[in-house]
Amino acid sequence: KRNIAVMTSGGDAPGMNANVRAIIRAAIYKGCKAFAVYEGYSGLVKGGPKYIREMSWHDVRGWLAEGGTNIGTARCMEFKERWGRLAACKNMIDAGIDALIVCGGDGSLTGADLFRSEWPSLISELKETKKITAEQYDKYKHLNICGTVGSIDNDMSSTDATIGAYSSLARICQAIDYIDATANSHQRAFVIEVMGRHCGWLALMAGMATSADYIFIPELPSSKKDWQDHMCKIVSKHRERGKRKTIVIVAEGAIGADLTPITCKDVLNVLVDRLHLDTRITTLGHVQRGGTAVAYDRMLATLQGVAAVDAILEGSPEIPSPMISIVENKIVRKPLVEAVKLTKQVAEAISKKDFQKAISLRDTEFNE
């Protein structure tokens, strides 16, 4: 029976608590000991009972719906250094942990895979420098790693949905519904900034779900003249047909054809100068991360939490570091390294304006 630790890392996302709850309870149900690492990788690097705690069934009671992450998350520069990972390795052995499940974005999962692949050399160094005993070396020779994807952006390749994305989308739609009422009353235009640096999923889906007039996403840049003319044409047409309000959604990573950002202020200026609309900007900001998880995220996080514990217990020699995904409504294991690599390649292609490549990389993911 294993001693399984769970950690949340990177940006928080609604549903992370549900994932931690499922992992802890599935581990206990299957006869394992369950631990939580507090404050992401920095808790692992610092170690000790303040940061690495054994968890009981009751410790996670009521966590299913709660937003954020109750075990904390952090960006940890030390873990990017070998000495930080060496300290983390020692702290895990001291706590008696032999398997780690990380819920986070592509950065966190890259760190997890690196930790696993480096583990033999880290543990050998600890043995050689007599920081651990020969018995500890034999007992902890192998580290099992598994990733679950927590991210509001839905920006990870090889999975259709990430934990938190649908909650964030629901929050955005709710906020736009509120804005709609006031926009309609005063016949105003609102330019709304939503999250998404490399991935326009939130903006695109929110645009569809709120019938926004126009959206800007990183994946579809156009020249200044093109987007200005096109947006004005569409918005004017809607106004001529009697629409009393205008909603334009801008993903924070939206860019023009020259790769310079398209900001809410740029859009506002055009709506005011060319269409003479009374226009306001609303940046939704961290509201998009807050609140309880929607039913879909609670369900996804729970199913994936159980699947992560199964992956640890069954082991998968063909996939040394599995990532738990959902593909066409099925919970599946994918190679974490490949998923992270694809995600980075897509982001890189978008930032280099190579959209054909970005699209074909995304197709690779779906045709796998």
| Residues acting as catalytic residues | 153
**CB of 111 or CB of 256, closer to ligand ATP:** 111
Q: Which of 108, 154, 157, 158 binds ligand ATP (CB under 6 A)?
A: 108
Give, to the nearest 10 degrees, the angle between helix 295-314 and helix 16-29: 40
Site string for ligand ATP, 22-41 (x = CB under 6 A): -------------------x
Outline where DSSP puts E strands in 94-253: 99-104, 144-149, 189-194, 214-216, 246-251
Give, to the nearest 10 degrees, the angle between helix 201-210 and helix 165-186: 50
Rounded CA separation 97/49 (Å): 13
Q: Specify the stretch interacting with ligand ATP by CB under 6 A; choose among 28-36, 109-117, 126-134, 171-179.
A: 109-117
**CB of 11 or CB of 221, closer to ligand ATP:** 11
Residue from 239, 197, 195 nearest 214 by CA: 239
Is residue 107 near ligand ATP by the rule CB under 6 A? yes
Is residue 165 near ligand ATP by the rule CB under 6 A? no
Q: What is the tally of helices (H) and strands (E) in the chain?
A: 12, 11
Is residue 322 near ligand ATP by the rule CB under 6 A? no
Is residue 197 near ligand ATP by the rule CB under 6 A? no
* CA of residue 252 relative to chain centroid, distance: 16
Q: Specify the stretch interacting with ligand ATP by CB under 6 A; choose among 93-101, 110-118, 285-293, 319-327.
A: 110-118
β-pair type (3-8, 189-194): unpaired
Is residue 168 near ligand ATP by the rule CB under 6 A? no
Residues near ligand ATP (CB under 6 A) are 9-11, 41, 75-76, 79-80, 104-108, 110-111, 114, 151
